[in-house]
A = this chain, B = another copy of it.
Amino acid sequence: MRHKTQEPELKAKDILIKFLEGFPDINPDIVREIAERITVESFKKGTILLQEGAIPKNCYYVLQGCLRQYKICEGVDRTIEFFTEKNGAVSSENYFTQSISDHNLACIEDSVLIIGDPIRDQKMFATYPVLESITRKMMEQEWGKTQKAFADFMTSSPEERYLNLLQSRPELLERVPQHQIAGYLGITAESLSRIRKRIISKAYRV
């Protein structure tokens, strides 16, 4: 179920304009024109954007807030990814292939999101080729980040995974409940607690 917040539309558009102004490839003269044609919406914490079993209609970009992608595996809630302003592109194979989603997507903070869909995006790319170029670069970067995170996960112990997260995305540890962080690291909340105690005790010994 989608709950829009009561914040004025203008605020989300202003955030979008600021975001677009950060791309040197976009001519400043057309930033407002492009912003007018991009859909940006505010969502309340707790909004479910996608449910397992549905075909994803949209992709998103997080301008503000935090989304959680998760799966229920034999009754256990497993976090697959967190998306914030620092890794804002939210999509999946199910979106690209328009197939049934094997995961859920929820706002775990009040969030401001760019909303894309295949037909509208294609029209925007035809009108503003610079947007396709920016998207291509963004997809390359996101793919690279996912590849690295996957390789690190495959080749690390749970303690190393926690230390990696502490180094690469320290803000997540402040924003997300510990049991969700534990699931994301592939361990129980109790194991995460033990790892944290061990790290703190090592730090004091040094």
Measured CB to CB, the residues of A under 8 A from B are 69, 71, 73, 78, 80-81, 91-97, 102-103, 125, 129, 132-133, 135-136, 139-151, 153-155, 186
Contact B148 A146 (CB under 8 A): no
This chain: copies in complex: 2
The 7 sampled A-B contact pairs (Cβ below 8 Å) are A69-B151, A73-B155, A78-B154, A96-B141, A97-B144, A146-B146, A153-B154
CB distance from A150 to the nearest CB of B (A): 4
How far is A8 from B97 in the complex, measured between Cα atoms in Å?
38
How far is A81 from B146 in the complex, measured between Cα atoms in Å?
13
Interface residue from B95, B132, B186 paired with A154 (Cβ < 8 Å): B186
Interface residue from B73, B93, B95, B140 paired with A91 (Cβ < 8 Å): B140
Contacts of A153 in B (CB 8 A): 150, 153-154
How far is A139 from B138 in the complex, measured between Cα atoms in Å?
9
Contact B139 A150 (CB under 8 A): no
How far is A183 from B139 in the complex, measured between Cα atoms in Å?
28
Residue of B nearest to A103 (CB): B151
Contacts A91-B140, A102-B151, A153-B154 known; 7 new A-B pairs at CB < 8 A: A69-B151, A93-B144, A93-B147, A96-B140, A139-B140, A146-B150, A150-B153
Residue of B nearest to A74 (CB): B155
Residue of B nearest to A72 (CB): B155
Contact A80 B143 (CB under 8 A): no
